[in-house]
């Protein structure tokens, strides 16, 4: 099995996907949301840009969310160094005051590795989602069955996502925590990933902010890693 690129180049769009979806859930049932983001990675040997476009659309059965990521790492040639997408479908169940959702999700992509396009591997997830009230804001929690091409066995994933405006909605504190299991041929590993974010509404639909990627046992790293970014986001 080849060594995959760095964690920033894989599952990168998870940085805001769940909090963006959660933000959309706070809107009316007829809401339709999109955002375009540009992040600059400030980590050591990781100075490059990533663009993300996201869409959230609710309907009478639940909601659909997707995003597409592109990395622009000039060190890997005069082209994009990664393309990656995720799509998630949520179906509202007639249980627990219609707050319980069933979900089906799919992830896939390619990265440039040693001058060639390498598939990152498909990931399928399915499970249940439910919001939990914590003090003055909600945390959306998912329990998921997880099957990844690069894992030799099935695994499970726990996801928590939050979205909290404050200071008269001039600031947003958002992010997610993922914990999942995967078998890389040496037994099950428990992988941790969290991406808390802080955004400032600079003007109209323009937000400026930062995120901090926190991970352990992700890809080939068995230690804690902390990788900050600087970002700009436009909702339209």
Token readout for 106 is 């799919």
pLDDT given for residue 233 in this prediction: 92
Contact (CB, 8 A) for 174 and 192: no
CA distance 208 to 171: 10
pLDDT given for residue 14 in this prediction: 42
CA distance 13 to 10: 8
Classified as helix, coil or strand, 75 is helix
Question: Which CATH number fits the domain 7-235, given the four candidates 1.10.3470.10, 2.40.160.40, 3.40.50.150, 1.10.3720.10?
Answer: 2.40.160.40
pLDDT given for residue 203 in this prediction: 93
- CB within 8 A of 129, min separation 6: which ones? 90, 100, 101, 102, 103, 140, 141, 142, 143
pLDDT given for residue 31 in this prediction: 53
Residue given tokens 């990656």 in the structure block = 84
Q: What is the pLDDT along the chain (236 residues), one digit of tens a residue?
A: 333 333 333 333 344 444 444 444 444 334 567 889 999 998 777 788 889 898 989 999 999 989 998 988 866 666 788 899 999 999 999 999 989 999 999 999 988 877 778 888 899 999 999 999 887 788 989 999 999 887 777 789 999 988 888 898 899 898 889 999 988 777 678 999 998 999 999 999 999 999 898 999 886 667 898 989 999 999 88
pLDDT given for residue 18 in this prediction: 46
Token readout for 109 is 């992509």
pLDDT given for residue 76 in this prediction: 64
Q: What are phi and psi of 39, to 5 degrees?
A: -115, 140
Paired strand residues for 124:
106, 147
């Amino acid at each position: 099995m080849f060594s995959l690129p760095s964690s920033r180049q894989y599952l990168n769009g998870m940085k805001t996907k769940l909090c963006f979806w959660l933000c959309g859930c706070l809107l009316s049932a007829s809401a339709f949301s999109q955002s375009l983001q540009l992040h600059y990675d400030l980590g050591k040997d990781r100075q490059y840009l990533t663009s993300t476009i996201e869409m959230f659309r609710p309907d009478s059965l639940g909601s659909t969310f997707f995003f597409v990521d592109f990395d622009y790492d000039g060190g890997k040639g005069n082209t994009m160094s990664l393309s990656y997408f995720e799509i998630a479908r949520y179906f509202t169940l007639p249980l627990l005051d219609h707050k319980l959702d069933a979900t089906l999700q799919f992830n896939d992509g390619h990265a440039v590795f040693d001058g060639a396009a390498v598939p990152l591997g498909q990931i399928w997830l399915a499970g249940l989602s439910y919001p939990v009230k914590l003090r003055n804001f909600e945390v959306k929690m998912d329990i998921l069955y997880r099957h990844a091409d690069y894992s030799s066995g099935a695994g499970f994933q726990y996801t928590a996502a939050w979205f909290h405006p404050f200071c008269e909605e001039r600031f947003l504190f958002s992010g997610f925590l993922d914990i999942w299991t995967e078998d890389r041929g040496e037994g099950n590993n428990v992988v941790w990933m969290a991406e808390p974010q802080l955004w400032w509404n600079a003007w109209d639909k323009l937000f400026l902010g930062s995120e901090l990627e926190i991970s352990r046992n992700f890809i080939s790293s068995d230690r804690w890693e902390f990788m900050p970014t600087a970002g700009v986001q436009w909702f339209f």
